Amino acid sequence: MKYFIKVLWAEAVKQHRNYFNNWMIYISLFVWPLLSFLSAYYSYSSFNVDGTLISYINGNNILVFLMLGYMAMSFFRSVVQSAWNFSRERQSGTLEYIYLSTANRLAVLMGNALSSVFESSIVMLIFGLLIVFSNRASINVNTISLLVVIFIFIIMALLWGVFLNACFLYSRDTDFLFTILEEPMEIFSGVKVPIVIFPAWAKIISFIFPLTYALEAIRQVMLNGASLQAVSTILFVCLGIIMVLLFATLITIVVVEKHMRKTGNVVLF
């Protein structure tokens, strides 16, 4: 376990030094989600949202509703980007040395995701917390539920990142995953529009993304004051997803390494 943590920490530190070496990077990662958030908020402002199908959305908390969506999205988006970035290690040849070492592959991928989850989202997180705090009168938080949900949310985001990292390592031709997962996740996970009002086909797509469940749980406990019991179904689904992601990642890591040893593609780019 000590070795696992050493590798995880080293990878997180390396990613920090390698990619986040200028404060402008933090700002640039914040600007696009901010613009997208503002665009969504002013779109909603044109309509009267009171009395919608969603019990916990009203004219007072729509700003927080959207902010929670974009905060959660920034965590999940950051790991997709980090997975894409990690596949560049193949080009730089450093991936070969990682595979040459005895380091636990899961620890390496987790360290990469860990660094990305927090560093890519930190400015958005601070901004979001300020928005939520300044609109505290419009929210109804169940603190215990929130702590549990945040813990599960972070684990989910990390594992989603680790799983994608493993997938991106399969070959140099997996970049298409970035296109598939980046924008559709924002559209179908209910970041801007609650999935309840989606047509059936769109709901089916939304169920693919772990963010859908994590986001619903967060909104329930922050806007609706939902107890753990009230969100237990979603939480069980989230725990199920965590288990599936973990097993899928472990299997993918083994398959990827076997594939690389067979095809020699660890050095192809």
Partner 1 sequence: MIEVKNLKKTYDVKRRDGLFKSHRETIEAVKDISMRIDAGQIVGLLGINGAGKTTTIKMLTTLIEPTSGTYSFDGMDAIVHPAEVKKQINMIAGGERMIYWRLSAYENLWYYGQLYGIDNSVLKQRIENLLKMVGLQDKANLPVETFSKGMKQRLQIARGLINDPKYIFLDEPTIGLDAVVTRELHDEIKSLAKVKEKGILLTSHYLSEVEELCDYIYLVNNGELIVEGTKKDLTDFVFLRNQYVFSTKGMDKNVYNGLKRHVRNVDNDAEILFENGKAMITSNVELSTILAGFAIQESLTIVELHKMEPSLEQAMIKLSKDMKKEAEREILYKSLVG
C-beta of 182 vs 257, nearer to partner 1: 257
Question: Closest separation between CB of residue 18 and partner 1, Å?
Answer: 5
Footprint of partner 1 on 75-94 (CB under 8 A): 92-94
Q: Residue 219: CB partners within 8 Å, gap ≥ 6?
A: 56, 65, 68, 69
**What is the C-alpha to C-alpha distance for residues 14 and 17, in angstroms, rounded to an integer?**
5
Map tokens 């939520």 to a residue.
Answer: 132
Number of Cβ within a 10 Å radius of residue 73 = 23
What are phi and psi for residue 174, nearest 5 degrees?
Answer: -95, 10
* Residue 260: HSE in the Cβ half-sphere, 13 Å Cα cutoff: 23
C-beta of 22 vs 229, nearer to partner 1: 22
Map tokens 């329930």 to a residue.
Answer: 220
What are phi and psi for residue 258, nearest 5 degrees?
Answer: -65, -45
Taking CB under 8 A as the criterion, the residue among 67, 68, 103, 146 binding partner 1 is: 103
Number of Cβ within a 10 Å radius of residue 21 = 9
C-beta of 26 vs 207, nearer to partner 1: 26
Tell me, what DSSP letter sits at residue 47? S
C-beta of 49 vs 250, nearer to partner 1: 250
C-beta of 108 vs 223, nearer to partner 1: 108
Q: Residue 218: CB partners within 8 Å, gap ≥ 6?
A: 68, 72, 146, 149, 150, 153
Footprint of partner 1 on 21-60 (CB under 8 A): 21
* Stretch of 14-22, 53-61, 128-136, 244-252 lying at the interface with partner 1 (CB under 8 A): 14-22
| Interaction of residue 7 with partner 1, rule CB under 8 A | yes
C-beta of 39 vs 94, nearer to partner 1: 94
Taking CB under 8 A as the criterion, the residue among 84, 99, 163, 188 binding partner 1 is: 99
Taking CB under 8 A as the criterion, the residue among 46, 102, 143, 229 binding partner 1 is: 102
Taking CB under 8 A as the criterion, the residue among 53, 100, 137, 200 binding partner 1 is: 100
Question: Closest separation between CB of residue 54 and partner 1, Å?
Answer: 46
Query: What do you get for the CA distance between the two ends of the chain, in Å?
Result: 33
List of residues contacting partner 1 (CB under 8 A): 2-3, 6-7, 9-11, 13-14, 17-18, 21, 92-94, 96-103, 108, 260-264, 266-267
